[in-house]
Amino acid sequence: MTTEPTKGVILISSGERHAWAAYYCARSIRRSNPDLPITLFTDHKMPEDGTFTEQVAIDDGHRRSKIDKMPLSPYDYSLYLDSDIRVIRPLDDMFRILEKFDLAIAHAHARNREATTVTWREDIPKAFPQLNGGVILYRTNPAVTKMIADWQHGYQTAGFKKDQVSLRELLWMTEKIRWTVLPPEFNIRYRKYLRVWHGEEADPAILHFGKYGKRYTLLWNSWMRKRGWFRFLI
């Protein structure tokens, strides 16, 4: 008898500001996916009000704690999200990707910056761009755990500010992980896309705007209200 894999979201925060950003990220998940478990790894205790399924205390937080804690996910199928995110629709269908693949991740939007095209060890074609590390859907299995360990080592030793430099090369080189690219509606980095997309082009799911990490709440935007998404963004 096959056991259904466990599924859930993990958020990883270091410091009070990022912990509160993760809290409001989780609230948007609760509104759009009320039954989806959410685990927070944090060094700052947050309210026990049902927003999080579980809080895991950490004492070694840093700017890129996600690379350290992603392998510790309690779920078979995990969705890691940065704290500067709002989820605005159900994600059940998204998790189905892991029935076929080990990992799914979206392209970085700003793909022509010098910091985004820099070479680590391998000369990689620009047509294989960096992937954004803010939305990572993955299976907790030995192959993925090994890749994340390599990513952790690469980030610590390469000396780049952006962890995506080493991630790009590891994904370019891997032969043991089945991975795929998520469409941009699962990691929308700029509001301009919401202004020009219509319903037949894309159905936005995950908003990843830097302002969400800079404030605890979001001021209402008229264009959000018109689209009926404002209820997810407080």
Distance CA 158, CA 154 (A): 6
C-alpha R_g of the chain: 17
Is 205 in contact with 94 (CB distance < 8 Å)?
A: yes
Whether 21 has a pLDDT exceeding 80, the answer reads yes
Q: What pLDDT, on the 0 to 100 scale, is given for residue 15?
A: 86
Q: Average pLDDT, whole number, for the chain?
A: 87
Residue with tokens 């070479």: 119
Domain residue spans of the chain: 7-232
Q: What pLDDT, on the 0 to 100 scale, is given for residue 24?
A: 92
Q: What pLDDT, on the 0 to 100 scale, is given for residue 119?
A: 84
Average pLDDT, integer, range 201-215: 84
What confidence tens digit (pLDDT) does each residue in 155-198 have?
888 777 788 888 999 999 998 999 999 999 999 998 888 888 88
pTM: 0.88
Give the architecture-level CATH label for domain 7-232: Alpha-Beta Complex (3.90)
Q: What pLDDT, on the 0 to 100 scale, is given for residue 218?
A: 46
Distance CA 153, CA 90 (A): 34
Q: Please, which residues have CB within 8 angstroms of residue 88's CB and are 6 or more apart in sequence?
A: 28, 32, 204, 205, 206, 207, 229, 232, 233
Q: What are 127's two structure tokens?
A: 């047509």
What confidence tens digit (pLDDT) does each residue in 31-57 have?
999 999 999 999 989 999 999 999 999
